[in-house]
Amino acid sequence: MSEITLDTLKPGDLARITKMRVKGPARRKLFDMGMVAGSEIELVRTAPLGDPIEFQIKGYHLSIRKEEASQIFVQKIE
Amino acid sequence: MSNRGKMLFALFMGCGYILIGTIQIITGILQVVSGDTGSSYMTAVAGALFIPPDIVAGMILMLIGCVFIYGVSEIHSGVREGIAYVYVGILLSLIFAGIYMLAATGDFLEAHLLNSEDYINWSVIDALRPEIYMGVLSLLTYLKWKGSFELKKS
Amino acid sequence: MENTKIRVALAGNPNVGKTTLFNAITGSRQHVGNWPGVTVEKKTGIRSYRGYDIEVTDLPGTYSLTAYSLDEIVARDYIIEEKPDIVIQIIDASNLERNLYLTTQLMELETEMIIALNMCDLALERGDKLYIDRMQEILAAPIVQTVASRDIGINELLDRVIEQKYNDKYHGREIGYGDIIESKVLEIEKILLTDPELSKRYPLRWMSIKLLEGDRNVRTKVGKSHVSAAINELLASIDQEEYEADIADKRYVAINAIFPQMCTRCNVRMTKSDMIDRVLTNKYLGIPIFLALMWGAFELTFAFATPFTDMIERIFLWLAVNVTSRLEPEWLASLIGDGIIGGVGAVLTFVPNIFILFFLLSLLEGSGYLARAAFIMDRLMYKIGMHGKSFIPLLMGFGCNVPAIMATRSIEDEKDRLITILVVPFVSCGARLPIYILLAGAFFGRQAGTVVFFMYVLGIVVAVISAKLLRSTIVKGKPAPFIMEMPPYRVPTLRTSIVHMWDNGAMYIKKAGTLILIGVVIIWLLASFPWGIEYGSEESYVGMMGHFFAPLLEPLGFDWKMTVALVFGLVAKEIVVASMGVLYGAGDSPEALTASLLADPAVTALSALSLMVFSLLYMPCVATLGVIKKETGSWKWTAFALAYGIAVAWIMAFFVYQGGKLLGY
């Protein structure tokens, strides 16, 4: 299974987080919001202007910018 | 109620809103350009349907119409989530009906409590706008279909 | 006999109905203030219940208790420093997993805890099953099911509070973090134990975990102790980033283990909330719908406020006439009539608008749409160096800058918030419109509408450029990351919205009111003295100021009368028009004022345009300045806002006037 980044998913795609490479204070916040390795995550939709992206994780909806999403690695679940 | 019923309703509401919105925008533009709406066929229709000339309000009506039509096209092409657009269309229709009803309350207070000069000729008929009667239509339909807007996992 | 007091703190994630529960418990007996030293809002309330005075403190809503944001620090410092008798955590029953993350951290603070499982109705309606007994067992804390929006479970919750007060043996549970972390925790605990001061004051296990996580705030707490050297040495030897990730990970692992025992979630493929979102954030319809809703909100604000505004105007007019004609001596009548009643009245006419704006803002927030507004607009705002959350405050600025600046409270990041506060005053508020209408109407005839529209656009452009400028100079850095929950849509509760409206509206009257009163009196003094001159005439101090400053403003095309009008405009911008009426001897009649403006050779179309530009930008009114001071908590930034505004206004008006002259107008 190849590793891809979170921002390359398409709406409806389900994946599992493998690595969180975000640095700085956002790192802490993302952990707190459930972006830890092993979590299942689904891309729900992108904003009308293409950024940010909304995900479903841990049973709720979370949106983050592409910038952060591109530093989170996932494995797609078919 | 089947999705077919919802689709027909949305088609009717969508066309209605777009039509009224178009009339409202055109009469609004006429008013800006020539100072008054004159007496054309268009203004006669607008008058009969209680449509005040107002460009922005007309654009909003068209938008609500588009939401309904978007739903029609989705349901038509077999996307079940299309009823979401009908649901939100009804919601928007209710919100704007509410806004204009509250605005009318403000006018009513102005006319009857404060007896303001600008509102001497104000009557309840002036408060009647397409947003309100279309909103009532939406409300009735919503009450009828209440609860049928949730999609359970099949 | 005096009632026994119980101090209770409400903790919980945002969007779980915390404020609703707080209002349901305390009713109207609330006090809104600030946490000491910071601008985070603090709400407390008292409820008398079965012979007890239950004092409730509403902690800021947080997802976690790290040092990520001021909110989180405030919340946890209250618990560990003030040691409330009981902490109630409000948990959204339909979203247990993420809510429990906070629970695991609250447990580590070793405090008595009660869990209010809120919005049970929604969860059950959806088809979820909740195993309350098992939950109580696992979390070792009493659990009360509540539906705060309908007052269900409130009394039971208060009963538990009283029970728990006498059940004071702490029996919480902690989660284990695995051998590697636990051994380090033990090591740190041992070191901390050697400082009796620390070990008496703080839960040591919690402190050790926080130190491992690299929590800067806890590190400063330890910094003063003699053990800090040993701690630093130990922490230097480990990879803290690794530990930080591991600890968060272990918390969620623990939750994953217990969560399935507490509830089974029903999988609804598409809830109503999802359906609404599908449309409201649709690629093509999302933005138009957003703009339509905002337009509707403004339409409603002004249409519905008009009768109330008129009523206030009439009351003040009546007061002014009656007071002035009856009061002796004349100077007192003038102070009260011209100064206080006129000035305060002018500002109070905005109160209905402000109340309605706050009410609508609260509806937007309670319904969950505010988060979507930020979601939709973030891309655009990010480009100009701001956060998606800044958009709504900026938009509210078109109504009135005061609630707009107060609305920036929803922006967590200090820098993002500061920039928003500093650029809001450039957004053309409702009070500036009369100035444009008068001047554009008098000098631009059929083009008046275009000119007014241009003023609004100019305001936005200046705000955008200022944001970019501030980002690259004084407030350096990128906007904070956008990490936001999109809460499910809900029907907002009327009581919460009304309380919100009332709190903020009252704050406006109180804060702005005192400042305005002072401002009004100062201006009156300047306009009435030296003794014996006509109010606001050329010989008054204001007139002298006008003459004094006139050379400075001459390059902008202003004479002394316009300068004086601008000085008066400091109190509230719509006073500019009224004072021009006085200065040009035209009284209250707009037609007479238009005529005398046109007759005055000193006022040309170009200088009128320049005056409009200057009035748009030159400085926030006294009320706005007051709110800037309150919200930034700093005189420095308030002074900056003032100076920056004047500088920008001068430069822009200079370019308009001199540029226009060069072009031959």
Which amino acid is it at C242?
E
Band of the pLDDT at B154, cuts 50, 70, 90? very low
Range in B36-45, C104-113, C148-157 with the lowest mean pLDDT: B36-45
Which of C101, C481, C482 lies nearest to residue A32, judging by beta carbons?
Answer: C101
Average pLDDT over residues C139-167: 90
Greater confidence, A16 or C518?
A16
pLDDT of res. C311? 87
Q: In the 8-state DSSP scheme, what is residue C152?
A: B
Alpha carbons C50 and C46: distance in angstroms, whole number:
13
pLDDT of res. B153? 42
- Within a domain: C225: yes
Alpha carbons C267 and C265: distance in angstroms, whole number:
6
pLDDT of res. B85? 92
Task: Give the CATH number of the domain where residue C124 resides.
Answer: 3.40.50.300
Task: Give the CATH number of the domain where residue C231 resides.
Answer: 1.10.287.1770
- Within a domain: C575: no
In Å, what is the CA distance from C444 to each residue of C367, C448, C551, C557?
Answer: 44, 5, 26, 17
Q: How far is A47 from chain C (nearest CA, A)?
A: 6
Q: Does residue A52 sit at the C interface (CB-CB below 8 Å)? A: yes
Q: Based on the domain organization, do C40 and C120 belong to the same domain?
A: yes
A25 to C68: CB separation less than 8 angstroms, yes or no = yes
Q: Based on the domain organization, do C127 and C226 belong to the same domain?
A: no
End-to-end CA distance of chain C: 81
Tell me the average pLDDT of chain A: 91
The count of CB pairs under 8 A between chains B and C is 85
Residues 95-114 on B with a CB inside 8 Å of C are 95-96, 99, 102-103, 105-107, 109-110, 113-114
In chain C, pLDDT over 70 holds for what percent of residues? 95
Long-range contacts of A57-60 (CB under 8 A, 24+ apart): A57/A33, A58/A34, A58/C97, A58/C98, A58/C252, A59/C95, A59/C96, A59/C97, A59/C98, A59/C265, A60/C95, A60/C97, A60/C98, A60/C485, A60/C487
Where in the sequence is the domain holding C131, given as residue range(s)? 4-165
pLDDT of res. A14? 93
Give partners of A (≥3 CB pairs < 8 A).
C
Q: Of C117, C137, C165, which residue is a domain's last?
A: C165
Quick check: helix, strand or coil at residue A72? Answer: strand
Q: How far is A3 from chain C (nearest CA, A)?
A: 19
Q: Based on the domain organization, do C22 and C122 belong to the same domain?
A: yes
Range in B121-135, C197-211, C476-490, C607-621 with the lowest mean pLDDT: B121-135
Quick check: helix, strand or coil at residue C475? Answer: coil
Average pLDDT over residues B25-51: 75
Task: Give the CATH number of the domain where residue A15 resides.
Answer: 2.30.30.90
Q: Of C131, C165, C199, which residue is a domain's last?
A: C165
Band of the pLDDT at C172, cuts 50, 70, 90? low
Q: In the 8-state DSSP scheme, what is residue C263?
A: E
Range in B44-48, B141-145, C63-67, C252-256 with the lowest mean pLDDT: B44-48
Greater confidence, A63 or B78?
A63
- Tens digits of per-residue pLDDT, B100-130? 999 888 888 888 877 777 777 777 777 788 9
Residue C155 has pLDDT above 90, yes or no: yes
pLDDT of res. B35? 62
Alpha carbons B100 and B107: distance in angstroms, whole number:
10
Q: Based on the domain organization, do C110 and C137 belong to the same domain?
A: yes
Residue C265 has pLDDT above 60, yes or no: yes
Residue C270 has pLDDT above 80, yes or no: no
Q: Count the alpha carbons within 13 Å of C60 in the hemisphere toward its beta carbon.
A: 26
Q: Based on the domain organization, do C136 and C210 belong to the same domain?
A: no
Counting beta carbons within 10 angstroms of the beta carbon of residue C473, is it exposed (0 to 12), middle (13 to 18) or buried (19 or more)?
exposed
A63 to C63: CB separation less than 8 angstroms, yes or no = no
pLDDT of res. C602? 79
Cite the DSSP H helix spans in C166-284.
179-193, 196-201, 204-212, 216-223, 228-236, 240-262, 272-280
Q: In the 8-state DSSP scheme, what is residue C177?
A: -
Which of C97, C244, C379 lies nearest to residue A58, judging by beta carbons?
Answer: C97
Q: Based on the domain organization, do C85 and C160 belong to the same domain?
A: yes
- Within a domain: C108: yes
pLDDT of res. C115? 94
pLDDT of res. C169? 63
Q: What backbone phi and psi angles, to 5 degrees, belong to C605?
A: -60, -40
Alpha carbons C397 and C376: distance in angstroms, whole number:
19
Alpha carbons C532 and C524: distance in angstroms, whole number:
14
Where in the sequence is the domain holding A51, given as residue range(s)? 3-77
Residue C366 has pLDDT above 50, yes or no: yes
Q: Does residue A12 sit at the C interface (CB-CB below 8 Å)? A: no
Average pLDDT over residues C111-124: 88
Task: Provide the ipTM.
Answer: 0.95
Which of C278, C379, C483 lies nearest to residue A29, judging by beta carbons?
Answer: C483
Q: In the 8-state DSSP scheme, what is residue C487?
A: P
Band of the pLDDT at B92, cuts 50, 70, 90? very high
pLDDT of res. B1? 46
pLDDT of res. C587? 60
The C-alpha angle with vertex C490 and arms to C487 and C492, in degrees rounded to 5, equals 115
C375 to A52: CB separation less than 8 angstroms, yes or no = yes
Q: Of C239, C264, C289, which residue is a domain's last?
A: C264
Q: Does residue A67 sit at the C interface (CB-CB below 8 Å)? A: yes
Q: Based on the domain organization, do C68 and C141 belong to the same domain?
A: yes
In Å, what is the CA distance from B84 to each residue of B10, B30, C270, C277?
Answer: 11, 36, 10, 9
> Which chain A residues are within 8 Å of C287, Cβ to Cβ?
48-49
Among A19, A20, A22, A28, pick the best mutation site for testing chain C contact (most C Cβ within 10 A): A28
Q: Based on the domain organization, do C69 and C184 belong to the same domain?
A: no
Q: Does residue A34 sit at the C interface (CB-CB below 8 Å)? A: yes
> Which chain C residues are within 8 Å of A65, Cβ to Cβ?
378, 382, 481-482
C311 to B95: CB separation less than 8 angstroms, yes or no = no
Greater confidence, C246 or C527?
C246
Band of the pLDDT at B149, cuts 50, 70, 90? low
> Which chain C residues are within 8 Å of B87, Cβ to Cβ?
272, 275-276, 279
pLDDT of res. C539? 79
Which of A37, A54, A59 lies nearest to residue C98, judging by beta carbons?
Answer: A59
CB B28 within 8 A of CB B53: yes
Tell me the average pLDDT of chain C: 85
Q: Does residue B17 sit at the C interface (CB-CB below 8 Å)? A: no
pLDDT of res. A63? 95
> Which chain C residues are within 8 Å of A36, Cβ to Cβ?
245, 248-249, 252
Rounded mean pLDDT for each run of 10 residues along chain A, 78 residues in total = 88 92 87 90 93 92 94 92
Among C62, C263, C379, C414, pick the best mutation site for testing chain A contact (most A Cβ within 10 A): C379
Long-range contacts of C255-262 (CB under 8 A, 24+ apart): C255/C97, C255/C100, C255/C101, C255/C104, C258/C100, C258/C138, C259/C96, C259/C97, C259/C100, C261/C131, C261/C134, C261/C138, C262/C96, C262/C130, C262/C131, C262/C134, C262/C135, C262/C138
Quick check: helix, strand or coil at residue B59? Answer: helix
Cite the DSSP H helix spans in C338-432.
342-348, 351-367, 369-383, 391-396, 401-407, 414-423
What Rg do the C-alpha atoms of chain B give, in angstroms? 18
Among B69, B101, B112, B151, pick the best mutation site for testing chain C contact (most C Cβ within 10 A): B151
Residues 29-68 on B with a CB inside 8 Å of C are 56, 59-60, 63, 66-67
